[in-house]
Structure 1
Amino acid sequence: MEITVHSSKPVKPDYVGGNSASAAVVPLSVFDKVNYDEYIFYVYAFHPPAPPDAVLEAALAKTLPEYREWAGRLGVDASGNPAIMLNDAGTRFVEATADAEFGGSTVMLLTTGRMVLSLYPSCDGVEELLVVQATRFQCGSLVLGFTLRHKVADGPAMWNFMVAWGARPLAASPSTLSQCTTGGRSLHDELPPPPLQIKFEHRGADFKPRGERSGSDGGVVVRADYDEVVVHRVHFGREWITELKSRASHGGAPRSYTTLQCVAAHLWRCVTAARGLDGRQATRIRIAVNGRARMVRPRVPEGYTGSVVLWAWPATTARELLGRPLRYAVELIAREVARIDDAYSRSFVDFASSGAVEEEQLVPTADAAEVPLCTNMDVDCLLAIPFHKLDFGCGPPFFFRPGYGHAPVDGAIYILRSFRGDGSVDAYVPLFSRHMDAFMRCCYSFPTTPTMAGARL
């Protein structure tokens, strides 16, 4: 399959009546500052008939006045603090075609191979915070590839923007979505003034000394002899997930665990076993926790554009993880995720504002230059994303694929609801090819022994 790019053009906000907005500078919040400083990538496929590119481009221009961040640029404010310059410089819209139909073989190439790289625009050398590529297949299917700067927004904020854009081709009047753009990033100014209330330790979890690798207890290893990372999409049916939850509750007081907790715990055990770790080796699973529903003082406004994400770090050893029942791993995850509550978030804001970060020369643990290899896992949960709401006039997407930049990252897993709409779940699991066979032998089973894949316990 070959992708041909036909045009690449800037798209600037199209204001009602032709009036423009004044330039503004929006400082990054403390949550924005600890977010990954990188571009992230998503690919969505839509059945025909899809709107023409000109309609999509015009709808994008009409949506940008409500989401000026995406048409701005990263910079600094008058005090030298990182900020978004609301200068309406624009996004970029790329038009392309594919010389194939979007069929079974194409889906396989996009799911597991690197062909997906050709369906979203490169971020190399770009200044735009958002670049979109619209690729038309011979069957009429439309694939939209998004390249978005993560410093601007977290997953829910990105999703709000995409849904608003999708509604534009069908809308007869301006969107009535409640937005909080230019003022949204001062959200945390509503917090009580000093004295600061730092009740939790944020070193190691949210910040680390400059030059230190996250998980330096052995959780991150840089290797020079690694082989290719391949991606497998694991499909868990609804009945299978029900059985997994039942097994997670076995051996203790009845408790209702979430789908994320159970699936993430199962994948953590399978990946650890497939890697054949020594039993004494430490292993951690990093889970992004959405604080939008957890923060109450102040509450996060509906439609807030920005990041409200911190991370949970459940940790143990390979021996404990694989030698104990599934419930052990699920409890570790549930406890650490629950810890990222309103009190923890307020403590984080106070710590980040206390001057300790600058004085100790701390940097975020969310380091895009750091590749988690060999022992750790990273999980992004998209189970709450309502994919059915993304509609450009041709129905919701029938295919989704997370991107990994230039290449997939070993252990960086996405978990989302299957597009089959039957309550099943898909997980995109990238691993070194030498570990994939062992992973496949245990990922669909319910192992009860510590030798799931020959781990050295």
Structure 2
Amino acid sequence: MVNVGQCFVITPARPTPTAPMCLSELDQEKTVAPALTVYFYRPSSDSISFAAASQVHRDSLSQVLVHFYPLAGRLHFIAATSSAKIEDFRDFALPNELRSLVPVVSYDASDLHELPLLMVQLTELSCGGISLGIGVSNIMVDGTCASHFMDEWARMARGDPIGNQPFLDRSVLLTADPTLPPRFKHERFVPNPLLIGQSDDHEEHNKETKIVMLHLSKEQVQKLKDIANKTRPAYIPRPFSQFEAVAGHMWRCATMARGHHPMQPTKLFIPVSIRGRMPLPKWYFGNAIMKQAACSHSGELVKQPLPYACGKMREAVEIVTEDYVKSALDDTKRQPDLTPFRTSHTIGSTTGCFDGNPNMEIISWLGIPFEGLDFGWGKCVYVGPATINVDG
């Protein structure tokens, strides 16, 4: 049980620009709902009180927002208490309990311009530990940028100056006028495959979605990676990664479990970072992730060994060059309405392209340095999503 105590609105410590800022095409297509993350901290050996910790968080947040002022456009900060202990979260696999540790905002009942871009909830647990729940707009940042913001916030909470200034000019990813026709085939706005015999995805879309946490050991992940690379085709010289091996395995297993017809088309949507593929500043603050689709037929996916699924993913990733990204941005700008694509994958959504059966969407936090965040009273003992709201 979480009891919300005080609620604060935090503003930047110094005046910041107030003019509207443009969103890039990659920002425009992201989901409106926020990414929800929760950090856990054990009781401090320095015996810092919750009130003092809350004050440090508020003061340092005000300071860091001077540098990351786009997030201050709409901001909520909540302090709360809970009768729970860190141990009560049972390997952090219970979404309802974790969800209570992050601020709640109805994204269905609000106009877009009224929604907060950043929400923070600091919760005192009965064991003396603290949870820090963060809700940050997916339209504003991707995981890399969120990690950058959190790292700089923690630095300032410890009394250090900012380490790396964010690059805030999103116009570097804007397309030219007039918009050019796409030069490549792009799958992001193409209707997803339907189950054979169905004329729409309403039946699948309306099925109850359950959230399950599956733990893979380091040894299991390595085994999958070894299997994927043992018979890797000669035309794929670079070894498959952990993500490719695990995601390919999940795609095959889901296809088997769904009992598809062998000729059933299926897509696997995966994120591809354009950092390093485009001349973006190192600390660019905005979305730099593209959604790519690996495509296959279920029969081939099940019949072929794991390297086949991994190879389909590699194909989808390797076509993402600078020219391909520019073409994709043009493709996005030419879409008459992106609203359906901002909500298509969210549980309960009734619009857009359904990413569930016979398709999947898999994301990875493996390359994002979220762990070890220290606000001055020790590193967090756990960080992860506060809820899983993706169907498929």
- TM-score norm. by structure 2 comes to 0.85
Quote the offset at 1:226 in angstroms.
2.7
Within-5 A mapping of 1:16-415: 20-49=15-44, 52-73=53-74, 91-103=75-87, 105-108=88-91, 110-124=92-106, 125=110, 127-172=115-160, 174-181=161-168, 184-188=169-173, 196=180, 198-202=182-186, 205-208=187-190, 214-218=191-195, 221-223=201-203, 226-237=207-218, 239-251=219-231, 252-253=233-234, 255-295=238-278, 299-353=279-333, 356-358=334-336, 365-368=341-344, 369=349, 370=352, 371-404=354-387, 408-411=389-392
Quote the offset at 1:362 in angstroms.
6.6
One-letter code aligned to 2:211? V
Gap regions ≥5 residues in structure 2? none
Quote the offset at 1:127 in angstroms.
2.5
Aligned length: 366
**Contact 2:103–2:120, Cα closer than 8 Å, also in 1:** yes
Quote the offset at 1:148 in angstroms.
1.4
Over residues 415-456 of structure 1, what are the superposed CA-to-partner deviations in whole Å (9 max), with x where a residue is unaligned? xxxxxxxxxxxxxxxxxxxxxxxxxxxxxxxxxxxxxxxxxx
Change (3 A) 1:171 1:6: same
**Contact 1:221–1:372, Cα closer than 8 Å, also in 2:** no
Quote the offset at 1:322 in angstroms.
1.1
Change (3 A) 1:380 1:30: same
- TM-score norm. by structure 1 comes to 0.73
Quote the offset at 1:175 in angstroms.
1.2
Alpha-carbon distance in structure 1 between the residues aligned to 2:25 and 2:118: 22
**Contact 1:131–1:148, Cα closer than 8 Å, also in 2:** yes
**What secondary structure does 2:214 align onto?**
strand
Percentage of matched positions with identical amino acids: 27
Quote the offset at 1:115 in angstroms.
1.5
RMSD value over aligned CA atoms?
2.6
Change (3 A) 1:180 1:389: farther
**Contact 1:134–1:143, Cα closer than 8 Å, also in 2:** yes
Which has a greater percent of strand?
A: 1
**What secondary structure does 1:207 align onto?**
coil
**Contact 1:166–1:392, Cα closer than 8 Å, also in 2:** yes
Over residues 324-381 of structure 1, what are the superposed CA-to-partner deviations in whole Å (9 max), with x where a residue is unaligned? 111100100111112222221122234445xx434xx676745444453332211111
**Contact 1:39–1:123, Cα closer than 8 Å, also in 2:** no
**Contact 1:35–1:309, Cα closer than 8 Å, also in 2:** no
